[in-house]
Structures are given as C-alpha cells and as structure tokens.
Amino acid sequence: MTSKRLNTFNVLFISLAVVAVGYVIRTPWLPIRRETKTSMGYPEDSLMNFTELTGKYGYISEEHHVITDDGYILTMFRIAKAKNCHKRKRSPPVLLMHGLLQSSDSWIDSGPNAGLAYLISDACYDLWLGNVRGNYYSRGHVHLNPDKDAEYWNFYIEEIGMYDVPAMIDYVLDYTGFEKLNYIGFSQGTGTFLVMCSERPGYCDKVQLVIGLAPAARQINTKSKIFRTLTQTFDKVEGALSMYGVQEVLCKGAFSQEFVAYFCQMSDFTERLCETIIDVFDHVESPHSGSITNETTKVLFGHFPAGTSVHNMARYGQSMKSDRFEKFNYGKEQNLVIYGSEQPPLYNLSATTVPVLCIYGKNDGLVDVKDVEWLMSKLPNVIESVKVEEPLWTHMDVTYSQYTGDTIFPKINEYLLKYTSA
C-alpha cells in the first residue's frame, strides 16, 4: 500500500476501533431483569434505587423533580425521616452532592453505619441529595431526548455549575422556606459549586457553609494513570465519537456497568479483583485494604458508573494537563471564536466568598494533596482545611469506606452544628 492509502487505512481502522469501544461503553445492554439478577446472586442492595434502599433500612425518603433554566429534569431525594433521629430537624437544610460518574446512591452504598447520607440524617439534619444531568436519575429534558438528541449531551462541569447546582439550591430553599443552606460536595460536587460561584453572581450567598470533600478543581498532579489515560483519550477522540453519535458514556445499564456489576459479585475471587480495580483506579501505590468492605464493593457496582457526557470526561482530561482552573479548551482558533482569547477563561475562584471547610486525604490518587492545597490558597474564605489523619485515606473512601463515621463525619458534624441556626 502507498503511504497515503496506509494513512487512510489507519485512520479508518482507528475510527472503527474507537467507535466499537464507544458503543461498548455507551450502548444499553439488554436490560437484565431484577428477578434474574436476584436468582444469579446479586446482592439485593445493588438492585435497589434510593427510596427502596433507604426504606429497607428504616429511613423514609421523598423523590423530588427539579427543572433547570435550560430544561434538564433532575431528580433529588430528601430523607424525610431518619431511623435514629427522634428530635426536631436541625436547620438549615443540607444539600449533599455526589462526584463524577456517581449518583445520590453512592452516599448509601456502604450501608446505614457508614454511608454519609445515613450519618448526616441520623444527626437530625434535613438532608437533600442531588443528581446532576446525565446520570440515571437525571436523564430527562423538557424537549430534548437523551437517546436521540446529541445536544442533550453537550455539557461539562460548566453547565452543571451554571444550571444544575443553582436549580437544586433554589428548589430546596423554596420548598423549605429557608434563606440559606449548607452544601457538601464530593470531588466534582465541589468543583461545580466553584463554577457556580464564578458564573452565577449571587448564588454563593444562598449558601452558609461549603464542605469540600476531596474537592476537584485543577488536577494537574493526579496520580491515577487509569483516570488520566481514560479522560485524556476522551479528550482526543471526542470529535470521532460524536461523528458516530456517541455522546454518552459509562451509563447504568450499559455493557460496561452491567459487566462489572456481574463480574464483581460472581465469586470471591472476582470480587477481590474488583477491590483491586478500585484501588488501582484510585491510587497505585498503597491500597487502603479493608476500608471498602467486600459487601460494599458488590453493592456499589450496581450504581456506578452512573453515566455522564463524553464532553465532561474530555474536560477532565484537559484538567490533568493545565495548571489553571479554566473553561473547556477548544484549541487556539476555536477559543478565539468562542471566548475571544486563545486561552480559555479562568473560573474566578475569588468569587467563592462563602466559608469553606475542606477535608482531603493524603492517599488520594484522583485529587492530589498538592492540587487541593493550591485550591485552598486561591479561595478567599477557607475556615479550615483538614488532612484526614489516616495516612491511607483515598478518594473512593469518601463515599464507600466503612470508616467514614470515625474519620470524616465528626469534622463534618462539628461544622454543620456550628452553622446551624435556631
């Protein structure tokens, strides 16, 4: 073959491979019925949704729907009655926001004695849980069809911060009649809050206290090779994928999620392999053995990954390369057209004027200590920045560890109490 033909061949081949992989990670599999999974031995908890699962453990949850200014329909949950709280609810309400590729279920996967949603509502706070656009609870829109309209998937943390977070805050405040709430965000859940403060003047003032758990902004020091490679690949192939109609990735019910869910509960051996996968994904050097129990491992893969857009994943790929916390980089020429500058504009971190408590781990391979410390140096109102004492505390531990009650909850509770009115 001539080199030109060889090149064409290569491009074709790579495109086909990309599309094949794209479909595998996106395409909904034949939905396997719940009864079938139960008979195959999947743990019951992995098959339940938020209301069912909290209900099983004696908590009563409500489901709420919120429509954003740009038409996305989001699902929120509120724990209306906690099993171990017998007093009047503490005010103001607390809004708990999951991380990338998660849903509200990630706060309950580790069970009643460890899931932060249980611990916080047992301490009598009026707890609300958000779900951002694109995950399986928030995959709706007033006129776009996520299965047909590519436009639905044209979002990254920018839109989540501009529309989803403000809409959820407004909804909770309207519903409860309070003027402010306390916000807890894990990883992306904090990053999108920072975007909101930068892009939506006034919204920061609706929050009394922000608790950033392993907050993700700039991620140039991220150690996880898998996460780096995965997101940077999405950044490279976003155009090719979209040509073939692949805009959604790693959704629940997709081949990838169904496969890990099946694989992780198949046998003791594969289950241990899944624990290793979590460790490798998070951090390569020193796993925090036993922190995430084998039961939790099986349950969490029933709810994770929960889906997002290729565009959002691509933006994470960019954030591993840039030492700035900035908007999507479309390349110099396109940036000039879109932003009027060759470099994407920065998010204004000085606009996060609300008091911030930050809690982060030394063994976090996704949001590195150096990047958290950089972020804290940029925020104008950090009241305390707490490095978790446990030296092996990882990223995934925040939502899934069995030790949250002793390691991070006391600090969270101390500050929620301090910022409780009446």
Ligand X SMILES: *[C@@H]1O[C@H](CO)[C@@H](O)[C@H](O)[C@H]1NC(C)=O
Residue number with CB closer to ligand X (62 or 151): 62
Residue number with CB closer to ligand X (65 or 236): 65
Q: Which of 46, 49, 138, 247 binds ligand X (CB under 6 A)?
A: 49
334 binds ligand X (CB under 6 A): no
Question: Which string of DSSP letters, residue by residue, matches 356-394?
Answer: EEEEE-TT-SSS-HHHHHHHHHH-TTEEEEEE-SSTT--
Residue number with CB closer to ligand X (348 or 420): 348
- The answer to whether residue 364 is catalytic is yes
294 binds ligand X (CB under 6 A): yes
- The answer to whether residue 395 is catalytic is yes
Give the C-alpha separation, 363 to 397, whole Å.
10
Q: Which of 58, 239, 290, 391 binds ligand X (CB under 6 A)?
A: 290
Residue number with CB closer to ligand X (130 or 317): 130
Residue number with CB closer to ligand X (252 or 283): 252
Nearest to 121 by CA among 143, 98, 90: 90
DSSP state of 340: S
Task: State the catalytic residue, choosing from 291, 395, 397, 401.
Answer: 395
203 binds ligand X (CB under 6 A): no
Residue number with CB closer to ligand X (41 or 290): 290
Q: Using CB atoms within 10 Å of the CB of residue 389, give its burial: 0 to 12 exposed, 13 to 18 middle, 19+ buried.
A: exposed
Q: Using CB atoms within 10 Å of the CB of residue 44, give its burial: 0 to 12 exposed, 13 to 18 middle, 19+ buried.
A: middle
**Angle between the N-to-C axes of helices 310-319 and 225-243, in degrees from 0 to 180, rounded to the nearest 10:** 140
Give the C-alpha separation, 233 to 321, whole Å.
13
- Is residue 182 within 8 Å of 211, Cβ to Cβ? yes
Task: Report residue 288 as tokens.
Answer: 């925090």
Give the C-alpha separation, 381 to 282, whole Å.
29
Spell out, one character per residue from 119 to 148, where the chain touches ligand X: x when CB under 6 A holds, - when not: ------------------x-----------
Tell me the window of 47-55, 141-149, 303-311, 389-397 that interacts with ligand X (CB under 6 A): 47-55
**CB of residue 53 vs ligand X: minimum separation in angstroms?**
9
- Is residue 101 within 8 Å of 305, Cβ to Cβ? yes
Total residues at interface with ligand X (CB under 6 A):
13
Task: State the catalytic residue, choosing from 187, 224, 256, 291.
Answer: 187
DSSP state of 153: G
**CB of residue 55 vs ligand X: minimum separation in angstroms?**
9
- The answer to whether residue 164 is catalytic is no
Task: Report residue 194 as tokens.
Answer: 């920072």
Residue number with CB closer to ligand X (22 or 146): 146
Q: Name residue 201's beta-bridge partners.
A: none
Q: Which of 7, 14, 24, 52 binds ligand X (CB under 6 A)?
A: 52
- Is residue 90 within 8 Å of 421, Cβ to Cβ? no
Interface with ligand X in residues 57-76 (CB under 6 A): 63, 75
**Tokens 């990838």 appear where?**
256
**CB of residue 278 vs ligand X: minimum separation in angstroms?**
14
Q: Which of 15, 23, 28, 51 binds ligand X (CB under 6 A)?
A: 51
Q: Which of 30, 88, 148, 268 binds ligand X (CB under 6 A)?
A: 268
Q: Which of 129, 310, 351, 359 binds ligand X (CB under 6 A)?
A: 351
**Tokens 């700039």 appear where?**
218
**CB of residue 414 vs ligand X: minimum separation in angstroms?**
28
SS3 264: helix
Give the C-alpha separation, 129 to 135, whole Å.
13
Give the C-alpha separation, 114 to 121, whole Å.
12
Residue number with CB closer to ligand X (138 or 329): 138
**CB of residue 402 vs ligand X: minimum separation in angstroms?**
10
Task: Report residue 240 as tokens.
Answer: 């090719």
Residue numbers at the binding site for ligand X (CB under 6 A): 49, 51-52, 63, 75, 137, 268, 271, 290, 294, 348, 350-351
Catalytic positions are 187, 364, 395
